[in-house]
């Protein structure tokens, strides 16, 4: 009997150990599961539209990172930390990661011994290579390789870089990032460009974006176009609106809005590298009506609200922890006609929608889940709120 509800994909040999994917059922079942969960959490605010899934839900990740480790028999392993541990599970290829990125990571691993380069040991805090991060622009095919090292000293640096480039001519930039702290963060503060321009560019919704090693960039560009398309539809820009892009990263949503006729766009973002990218991106896309500020979105909103600033549309796309009460209270004060909330965590989204609907006249008009992360349990939603009188 073929019961679709219990169809296991069961293709990945390290599904359990890796923990990167949490769902191993057939893709239509995954979508049903996500729809159900979104409805349980958000139905009380209004109808949840059917989730928009991916046509081809494999190898969608444009950013891949691998931890490096040497086992007791001296073999170098690259892969991911087994969930909750510091044990590296070896991974050469992955169903959701970009295939070119996976090949580069394996290639770097194979080159290490001939250059006598070691891997970093987190216990002894000795050794060299800690992580490798690869990002590819799916539209431009530019590829960035970031070698995260435990020490700034890079023996045989030039020869190693030459060897990597010979083997992978598609790589357009190589960066060394130094992370000598005991931390769960992959990237450290200091970095040096070893080859190329130090960033890649990609095209999204017809706009060009620069992406630095440390800037946030959506990891599934195919579905990002769907997500932003919905966000723009909900914003219903007619031209000349004042738009705020809060938690703007490298400015993607605001820049797409500016291209679609927004009068003035203001973006705010905490990460300095991302803000620098956003400013460059606005220029590269020929936009003069857009400004970006570095800072906490809540503090920025409070300052705007206190000064009596007004805007027509607010896009907000906070991290998994959701927004802050300071942000939401100031948002209510600024009273934009439309709020487009892009969320990667329906739990914190529900909490923030509770606050907004209880403390103001805002009502939820549309809830659209988009599957940005097939095979994982993560759920992305875009929600439209308008004021009661509208």
Q: Is 274 in the site for ligand SAH (CB under 6 A)?
A: yes
Q: For residue 214, which of 201, 224, 229, 199 has the smallest C-alpha distance?
A: 199
Q: Which residues contact 11 (CB under 8 A, 6 or more apart)?
A: 95
Contact 237, 314 (CB under 8 A): no
Which range in 23-31, 86-94, 266-274, 280-288 contacts ligand SAH by CB under 6 A?
266-274
For residue 248, state whether it binds ligand SAH (rule: CB under 6 A). Answer: yes
Which CA distances in Å does 288 have to 38, 266, 283, 317? 38, 11, 7, 23
**CA 196 remoteness from chain centre:** 23
Q: Which residues partner with 208 through β-bridges? A: 203
Residue of the chain from 270, 284, 287, 335 that contacts ligand SAH (CB under 6 A): 270
Query: What is the distance between the alpha carbons of residues 46 and 216, in angstroms, rounded to a whole number?
Result: 31
Least spacing, CB of residue 258 vs ligand SAH, in Å: 14
Residue 142 contacts ligand SAH per CB under 6 A: no
- How many Å apart are CA 211 and CA 206, to the nearest integer? 16
Rounded-to-integer distance, Cα 31 and Cα 172, Å: 36
CB of 106 to ligand SAH, least distance (A): 29
Strand partners, 145: 134, 174
Should residue 218 be labelled a site residue for ligand SAH when binding is judged by CB under 6 A?
A: yes
Report DSSP state, residue 49. P
Q: 97 with 65: CB under 8 angstroms?
A: no
Using DSSP, state whether 195 is helix, strand or coil.
Answer: strand
Scanning 120-128, 144-152, 269-277, 304-312 for contacts with ligand SAH by CB under 6 A, the matching segment is 269-277
- Token pair of 44 as six digits: 């009380």
Position among 253, 305, 332, 350 found at the interface with ligand SAH (CB under 6 A): 253
> Which of residues 148 and 256 has its CB atom nearest to ligand SAH in the complex?
256
Residue 106 or 284: the one with the smaller Cβ distance to ligand SAH is 284
Distance of closest approach, residue 297 Cβ to ligand SAH, in angstroms: 4
Please tell me the distance from the alpha carbon of residue 331 to that of residue 304, in angstroms, as a whole number: 9
Q: Is 252 in the site for ligand SAH (CB under 6 A)?
A: yes
Point out which span in 174-182, 194-202, 264-272, 352-360 binds ligand SAH (CB under 6 A). Answer: 264-272
Catalytic sites, residue numbers:
344
Residue with tokens 């931890």: 67
The only residue of 265, 297, 370, 383 in contact with ligand SAH, by rule CB under 6 A: 297
Nearer to ligand SAH by C-beta: 249 or 346? Answer: 249
Q: Binding of ligand SAH at residue 290 (CB under 6 A)?
A: no
Is 273 one of the binding residues for ligand SAH (CB under 6 A)? Answer: no
User: Other CB atoms closer than 10 Å to residue 44's CB: what's the count?
Assistant: 12
For ligand SAH, the binding residues in 302-331 under the rule CB under 6 A are: 317, 319
Minimum CB separation of residue 99 from ligand SAH in Å reads 23
Binding ligand SAH (rule: CB under 6 A), the pick from 98, 102, 202, 269 is 269
Q: Which residues contact 96 (CB under 8 A, 6 or more apart)?
A: 20, 21, 58, 59, 60, 61, 374, 375, 376
How far is Cα 258 from Cα 266, in angstroms, rounded to an integer? 10
Nearer to ligand SAH, 297 or 353 (CB): 297
CB of 165 to ligand SAH, least distance (A): 29
Among 15, 27, 68, 216, binds ligand SAH (CB under 6 A): 216
Give the interface segment with ligand SAH, choosing from 141-149, 156-164, 191-199, 248-256 (CB under 6 A): 248-256
Binding residues (CB under 6 A) for ligand SAH: these are 216, 218, 247-249, 252-253, 268-271, 274, 296-297, 317, 319
């Amino acid at each position: 009997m073929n019961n679709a509800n219990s169809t296991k994909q069961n293709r990945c040999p390290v599904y359990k150990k890796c923990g990167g994917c949490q769902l191993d059922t057939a893709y239509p079942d995954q979508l049903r599961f996500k729809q159900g969960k979104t409805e349980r959490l958000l139905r009380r605010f209004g109808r949840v539209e059917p989730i928009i899934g991916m046509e081809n839900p494999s190898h969608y990740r444009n950013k891949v990172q691998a931890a490096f480790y040497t086992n007791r028999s001296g073999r170098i392993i690259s892969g991911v930390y087994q969930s909750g541990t510091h044990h590296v599970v070896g991974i050469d290829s992955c169903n959701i990661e970009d295939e070119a990125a996976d090949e580069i990571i394996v290639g770097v691993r194979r080159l290490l011994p001939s250059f006598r380069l070691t891997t970093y040991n987190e216990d002894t805090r000795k050794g060299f290579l800690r992580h490798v991060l690869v990002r590819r622009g799916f539209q431009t095919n530019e590829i960035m390789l970031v070698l995260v090292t435990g020490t700034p000293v890079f023996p045989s640096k030039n020869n190693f870089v030459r060897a990597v480039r010979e083997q992978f001519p598609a790589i357009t930039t190589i960066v060394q990032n130094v992370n000598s702290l005991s931390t769960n963060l992959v990237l450290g503060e200091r970095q040096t460009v070893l080859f190329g321009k130090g960033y890649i560019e990609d095209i999204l919704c017809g706009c060009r974006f620069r992406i630095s090693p440390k800037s946030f960039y959506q990891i599934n560009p195919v579905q990002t176009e769907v997500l932003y398309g919905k966000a723009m539809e909900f914003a219903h820009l007619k031209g000349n609106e004042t738009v705020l892009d809060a938690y703007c990263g490298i400015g993607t949503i605001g820049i797409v809005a500016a291209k679609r006729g927004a009068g003035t766009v203001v973006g705010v973002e905490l990460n300095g590298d991302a803000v620098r990218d956003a400013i460059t991106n606005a220029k590269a896309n020929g936009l003069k009506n857009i400004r970006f500020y570095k800072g906490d979105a809540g503090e920025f909103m409070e300052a705007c609200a206190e000064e009596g600033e007004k805007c027509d549309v607010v896009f907000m796309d906070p991290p998994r922890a959701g927004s802050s009460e300071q942000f939401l209270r100031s948002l209510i004060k600024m009273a934009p006609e439309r709020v487009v909330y892009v969320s990667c965590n329906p739990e914190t989204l529900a909490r923030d929608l509770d606050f907004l609907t209880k403390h103001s006249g805002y009502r939820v008009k549309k809830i659209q889940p988009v599957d940005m992360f097939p095979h994982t349990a993560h759920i992305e939603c875009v929600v439209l709120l308008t004021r009661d009188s509208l």
